[in-house]
Amino acid sequence: MSDIIAIVATKDNATDLSGAQAIFWVDTIEQAQRKALLLARIFKAMVHDLEGGIYLIVRH
């Protein structure tokens, strides 16, 4: 079973996202990519790019 650990998203998506998972807001897509990669390494998880500046960190 897979668990969503966190969501990394640009501030442009602030009105589109909400939920119980941790959401990390960043200013640019480049910052989102970097933060998602670092979080995935920390949690030994995978990054899934949903495009538009939204990244899911998922443990499979």
- Number of domains forming the structure of the chain: 1
Q: List, in order, residues 6 or more apart from 24 with CB less than 8 Å away.
A: 6, 7, 8, 9, 35, 39
Question: Distance between CA atoms of 33 and 48, rounded to whole angstroms?
Answer: 10
Average pLDDT rounded to a whole number, residues 20-44: 95
pTM, two decimals, is 0.89
Please check whether residue 27 lies inside any domain of the structure.
yes
Give pLDDT, residue 14.
Answer: 87
Give pLDDT, residue 20.
Answer: 72
Please check whether residue 2 lies inside any domain of the structure.
no
Please check whether residue 28 lies inside any domain of the structure.
yes
Average pLDDT rounded to a whole number, residues 14-41: 92
Confidence of residue 45 (pLDDT cuts 50, 70, 90): very high
Average pLDDT rounded to a whole number, residues 14-20: 81
Please check whether residue 15 lies inside any domain of the structure.
yes
Identify the domain containing residue 38 by its residue range: 7-59
Q: List, in order, residues 6 or more apart from 17 with CB less than 8 Å away.
A: 7, 9, 23, 54
